[in-house]
């Protein structure tokens, strides 16, 4: 596919950087053992165990990886559990209305996540930046994260808290309240105010946002001085470079705690979501992330992805020590997950051996995949219709011949 970097480069590279899945395969774990590990991570948070088995590994691998990340930060993991408890308490209090409320916020959340992906594409390494540029970049991240990405999640969480508490008008002013008002009410009513003013600084999320947007920070020798508040209530926060980086991480983990709680709540109620109408379209970066995470559980690293209106093409490199002949057949079967995450009319998988040698191409039609999803075709039928090319011999054959 030309070898050039494209818009998904950071996404596919991030699977290796932030997820342990590929390293686990390289250490000798089988795809079955990886799936069991993913199930073990998610199991405590699902009451419907059969549904969990159905959703893993194809759809919830990123959630499992993020839960492991949260578990490495006891504060963030505690906040995640408390947020999930809010959703369940709201469902217990008002039934399906809590699910409808979550779905209602999905368009705003998707818009915020779109802003997140745009910001991530512009992200630069901070380690070697001079302190002025470091301060600017760190607050650019904080401002974008709180204002665009976290804010709809915060409003959605407040909606759930009001439902939990049987508020008379649970949706009142939720769309028009200022961010400061939202944070204030969350701190007063949630039962876990730390989430909205992360320790040890105890600066509220809206105030972090204000520091970023108003550029109310400056450098004094090696110290980053931040000011927030109004009039006589202006306060000063003095941070080292390392402390500002830790604050950025804390706010990122606060977002992760809130978003993972909502994601798992919706996943567990996926069978009821169809009762509600909402735009659930996602940025292609998220689709690529979910596909890359799913195939990582099978021992393949996504090296490149190209998406056009007509085709989704992915280069998969083997990271296992299994016979490449058998692995290329396995890789060919991943045209269906590629369709699940991209829904393109034509699908292409290019299989590379462990040393990077391209050996095999598999192509399939999206209409066949759609018929499988609708229950009109068996998955085994897709294998027979998938066209394959052996790049070593040039041989072309229908998929079923490759398995005979």
Q: Which of 244, 273, 302 is a domain's end point?
A: 273
**CA nearest to 344, candidates 383, 391, 268, 291:** 291
Separation of alpha carbons 240 and 272, rounded Å: 48
What pTM value is reported for the model? Answer: 0.81
Q: What φ, ψ does residue 188 adopt, rounded to 5°?
A: -80, -30
Residue 52 lies in a domain: no
Classify residue 314: in a domain, yes or no. yes
Helix (H, G, I), strand (E, B) or coil at 220: strand
The answer to whether residues 153 and 172 belong to one domain is yes
List the domain range (segments joined by +) for residue 177. Answer: 58-273
d(CA 290, CA 340): 10
Considering the domain architecture, whether residues 109 and 27 belong to the same structural domain is answered as no
Q: Measured between alpha carbons, how far is 218 from 65 in angstroms, rounded to an integer?
A: 36
Domain annotation covers residue 50: no
Say how far apart CA 177 and CA 175 lie, in whole Å. Answer: 6
Range among 11-20, 103-112, 126-135 rated most confident: 126-135
| 3-state SS assignment for residue 218 | strand
Q: How many domains does the chain divide into? A: 2
Confidence of residue 4 (pLDDT cuts 50, 70, 90): very low
CB 237 within 8 A of CB 203: yes
Same domain, 258 and 288: no
Whether residue 281 is found in the same domain as residue 337: yes
Tokens of residue 89, six digits: 């308490």
The domain boundary, picked from 273, 301, 320, lies at 273
In this structure, the answer to whether residues 268 and 301 fall within a common structural domain is no
Cis peptide leading into residue 200 (ω within 30°): yes
Looking at the domain assignment, is residue 313 inside a domain?
Answer: yes
Is 281 among the domain residues? Answer: yes
Same domain, 259 and 317: no
Residues 40 and 67 in one domain: no
348 and 201 assigned to the same domain: no
Tell whether 120 and 77 lie within a shared domain.
Answer: yes
Which tens digits make up the pLDDT trace of 133-178?
A: 999 999 999 999 999 999 999 999 999 999 999 999 999 999 999 9
- In the listed set 273, 292, 326, which residue is the last one of a domain according to the structure? 273
Taking only the tens place, the pLDDT of each residue in 23-44 is 888 888 888 888 888 899 999 9
Write out pLDDT tens, residues 37-80. Answer: 889 999 999 988 888 888 766 678 888 889 999 999 999 999 99
**By three-state DSSP, how is residue 333 classified?**
coil
- Residues 264 and 211 placed together within one structural domain of the fold: yes
Same domain, 131 and 235: yes
């Amino acid at each position: 596919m030309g070898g050039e970097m494209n818009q998904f480069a950071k996404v596919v590279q991030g699977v290796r950087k932030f997820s342990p899945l590929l390293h686990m395969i390289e250490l000798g774990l089988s795809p079955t053992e990886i799936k069991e590990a993913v199930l073990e991570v998610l199991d405590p948070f699902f009451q419907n165990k059969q549904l969990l088995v159905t959703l893993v590994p194809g759809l919830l691998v990123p959630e499992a990886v993020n839960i492991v990340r949260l578990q490495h930060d006891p504060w963030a993991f505690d906040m995640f559990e408390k947020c999930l408890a809010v959703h369940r308490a709201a469902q217990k209090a008002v039934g399906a209305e809590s699910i409808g409320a979550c779905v209602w916020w999905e368009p705003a959340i998707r818009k915020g996540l779109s802003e997140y992906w745009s910001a991530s594409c512009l992200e630069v390494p901070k380690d070697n930046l001079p302190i002025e540029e470091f301060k600017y970049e760190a607050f650019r991240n904080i401002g974008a994260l709180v204002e665009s990405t976290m804010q709809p999640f915060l409003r959605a969480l407040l909606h759930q808290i009001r439902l939990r508490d049987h508020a008379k008008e649970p949706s009142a002013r939720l769309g028009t309240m200022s961010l400061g008002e939202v944070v204030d009410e969350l701190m007063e009513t949630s039962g876990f105010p730390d989430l909205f003013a992360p320790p040890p600084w105890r600066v509220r999320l809206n105030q972090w946002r204000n520091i970023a947007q108003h550029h109310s920070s400056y450098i004094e020798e090696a110290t980053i001085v931040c000011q927030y508040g109004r009039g006589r209530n202006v306060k000063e926060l003095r941070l080292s470079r390392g402390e500002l980086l830790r604050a950025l991480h804390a706010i990122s983990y606060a977002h992760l705690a809130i978003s993972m709680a909502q994601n798992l709540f919706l996943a567990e109620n996926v069978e009821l979501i169809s009762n509600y109408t909402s735009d659930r379209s996602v940025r292609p970066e998220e689709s690529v992330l979910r596909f890359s995470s799913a195939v990582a559980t099978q021992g393949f690293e996504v090296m490149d992805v190209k998406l056009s209106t007509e085709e989704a093409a992915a280069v998969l490199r083997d990271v296992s020590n299994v016979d490449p002949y058998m692995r290329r057949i396995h890789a060919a079967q991943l045209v269906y997950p590629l369709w699940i995450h991209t829904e393109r009319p034509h699908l292409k998988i290019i299989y590379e051996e462990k040393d990077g040698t391209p050996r095999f191409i598999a192509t399939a039609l999206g209409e066949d995949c759609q018929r499988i999803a609708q229950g009109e075709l068996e998955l085994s039928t897709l294998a027979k219709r998938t066209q394959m090319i052996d790049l070593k011999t040039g041989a072309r054959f229908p998929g079923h011949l490759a398995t005979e």
